[in-house]
Amino acid sequence: MVEKNSDNVTVPPFLAWRRRLRLTRGEAARLLDRTERQLQVYEQAHELPRVVLLAMTALEYLPVWRLAPLGIDPTWRRK
């Protein structure tokens, strides 16, 4: 999963995901139960831990009724 920005520069997958969902680093850290420092590392990496990839996929694609019991309100889908 490689995305490119308008300058045709490769964007690391985590950063592309966070931008796509319009999440701040703090919001993403809370949703993924990680620290903001860990997310800084992820934003520069082209490979991510499998558990993080699974969580990212779940947050992006699971229906709202599946996320609600976890206390997650996918506000990024309303933007």
Report domain extents, the chain.
3-78
Fold of 3-78: 434 Repressor (Amino-terminal Domain) (1.10.260)
Consecutive 10-residue runs of the chain (79 residues): their mean pLDDT?
A: 58 91 94 95 91 94 92 82
The pTM of the full predicted model, rounded to 2 decimals, is 0.79
Give CA angle at 40 (76, 45), nearest 5°: 100
The pLDDT score that the predictor gives to residue 56 is: 95
CA distance 36 to 22: 16
pLDDT at 46: 85
Residue 8, judged by CB atoms within 10 A of its CB (0-12, 13-18, 19+), counts as: exposed
Residue-level pLDDT at 7:
57
Predicted pLDDT of residue 6: 55
- Please give the Cα distance from 58 to 31 (Å, whole number): 11
pLDDT at 43: 92
